[in-house]
Structure 1
Amino acid sequence: MKVLVCIKQVPDMESRFKANSSGNWYDEADLAFRMNEYDEYAVEQAVQLREQLGDAADVTVLSIGPDRVVEALKKALAMGCDRGVHVQDPAVSLKDPWQIASIIATYAKDKGFDLIFTGMQSQDRASAQVGVAVAEQLGYSCATTLVGFSFADGVVTAKRELEGGLKGVVKLRTPALVTCQLGLNVPRYPTLPNIMKAKKKEIQAIPVVDILKEEALAATASVYPPARKGGGIVLEGDLNDMASQLIGILKEKTAVVR
């Protein structure tokens, strides 16, 4: 069984973000990067499936981006993936979700992958579109926001998180794609022996110009921080005085009249 798991490297969400000089994405200087949280669940589930199937399964991990994404690939290899694919693209942030999905689908279309795992969404762009767009382009069945997974006899049983805290169960025949959510599993911490083994595993580098054929359907015009909220006002004193103060404030700030 051939498995593909797709990961993205994102900034640590505790970082202080500011717009870049072009104003269309964040400035990456001085940011610490890590594997996208939802993608860690995807990697863990792919590795668990490999452990279930033994030598009958083979797991490839793919990431798109500049040279720094190799570190995320190495972590996935240390978690148990068999080989890595680095689609080299220093301008990945300028591509829309459909283009990213097209890169993945173009790479995967002639590889015979039975199952593809992705994160539910990335923590920086949070479009939640790439996984389902890959499935659409490949013609795979698809289930999103998984919080439960099992596989037997060519059938995926997926437990999905729905609105209102409900759970839904669907069954998919392979080839299929699933997107992974918090609660699906607990990603393992790579051990030192596995980190050393990962150094010997293959990471294939492919320039993005060799794969991407799609034009952008959308572009990020600008990014900016949320507007700062004004400070609150604490009213003190007699109840009647506070009521009068409140009415005065409402008259000044709004169109409220007596």
Structure 2
Amino acid sequence: MKILVCIKQVPDMESRFRVSGAGDWFEEGDLAFRMNEYDEYAVEQAVRLKEQLGDLPEITVLSIGPDRVGEAIRKALAMGCDRGVHLQDPEASRKDPWQIASLIAAFARDQGFDLVFTGMQSQDRGSAQVGIMVAELLGYPCVSTIVGFAYDNGVITVRRELEGGTRGVVKLGMPAVVTCQLGLNVPRYPTLPNIMKAKKKEILPLATAGLSGEERRAVTLRLHRPEKRGGGVVMEGEVNDMAERLVGILKQKAVVPR
């Protein structure tokens, strides 16, 4: 069995964010980076499946981006993945989900992967589209937002989160793509021996120019912080007086008709 896990390196959400000079993304020099949280669940589930099957599957972890994404790949290798693939692209943050999915599919198409794990969404863009688009481009069945996973004799059984707090159970064969949601598992912390072993594992660098990506479908024109709002107004006094003042304020702000 061959498994592919797609991960993304994203800004740490505790970082201080500033809009870049170009106005279409963040100023990355100010940011710390980490593996996308949802992708950690994908890595963990792939490693658990490998352990279940007695180390038979080979797990490839793939990430797209500049040189710094090697740190996220190394963490996935330390968690138990076997080899890494780095699709080198310094402009990856400005590519839309269709472009990213197209690059992943172009790499994976001839590799014979039986199972592809991705995170449900990334913490920076949050489109929740890439994994599903990869499945479409590869012609694989896909189940998104999974919170439970089981494998038995070539059949995958997953539980997925649905609206209204309900959960659905889906069975599917391989090859397949699944996208992983919070609650699927508890990702392990890499141990020091595994961190040292990860340094010796292969990371294959590939130029995205050699892959057949699709044309961009969406462009980020402008990124900006929400406008700051003024403080609230605290009213005191008699109820009738406060109600009259409140109506006056609402009329002044055109919330209610004059």
Same fold by TM (over 0.5)?
A: yes
1:166-187 deviation digits (Å, cap 9, x = unpaired):
0000011000000000000000
Q: Which residue of 1 aligns with 2:41?
A: 41
- Aligned equivalents of 1:215 and 1:161: distance in 2? 32
Would you say the 8 A contact 1:99–1:212 is kept in 2?
no
After TM superposition, the structure 1 = structure 2 runs for residues 46-65 of structure 1, keeping only pairs within 5 Å, are 46-65=46-65
Provide the identity percentage: 69
TM-score in terms of structure 1 length: 0.97
Q: Which residue of 2 aligns with 1:244?
A: 244
How far 1:252 sits from its partner (Å)? 1.7
Secondary structure of the residue aligned to 1:247 is: helix
Secondary structure of the residue aligned to 1:55 is: coil
What code does the residue aligned with 1:20 have? S
Q: Which residue of 1 aligns with 2:31?
A: 31
Q: Which residue of 1 aligns with 2:141?
A: 141
- For structure 1, the 5+ residue unaligned runs are none
TM-score in terms of structure 2 length: 0.97
- Aligned equivalents of 2:20 and 2:183: distance in 1? 34
- Aligned equivalents of 2:255 and 2:154: distance in 1? 65
1:239-258 deviation digits (Å, cap 9, x = unpaired):
23222322322232226357
What code does the residue aligned with 2:32 have? A
How far 1:210 sits from its partner (Å)? 1.1
Q: Which residue of 1 aligns with 2:115?
A: 115
Would you say the 8 A contact 2:17–2:30 is kept in 1?
no
How far 1:151 sits from its partner (Å)? 0.6
Secondary structure of the residue aligned to 2:55 is: helix
- Aligned equivalents of 1:243 and 1:6: distance in 2? 57
Q: Which residue of 2 aligns with 1:22?
A: 22
- Aligned equivalents of 1:243 and 1:222: distance in 2? 41
After TM superposition, the structure 1 = structure 2 runs for residues 217-236 of structure 1, keeping only pairs within 5 Å, are 217-236=217-236
After TM superposition, the structure 1 = structure 2 runs for residues 57-136 of structure 1, keeping only pairs within 5 Å, are 57-136=57-136
1:46-91 deviation digits (Å, cap 9, x = unpaired):
0000111123211000000000000000000000000000000000
- For structure 2, the 5+ residue unaligned runs are none
- Aligned equivalents of 1:46 and 1:255: distance in 2? 53
Secondary structure of the residue aligned to 1:56 is: coil
Would you say the 8 A contact 1:149–1:158 is kept in 2?
yes
What code does the residue aligned with 1:65 have? G
RMSD of aligned Cα (Å): 1.2
Displaced runs of 4+ in structure 1, greater than 3 A?
255-258
Would you say the 8 A contact 1:24–1:221 is kept in 2?
yes
- Aligned equivalents of 1:163 and 1:238: distance in 2? 44
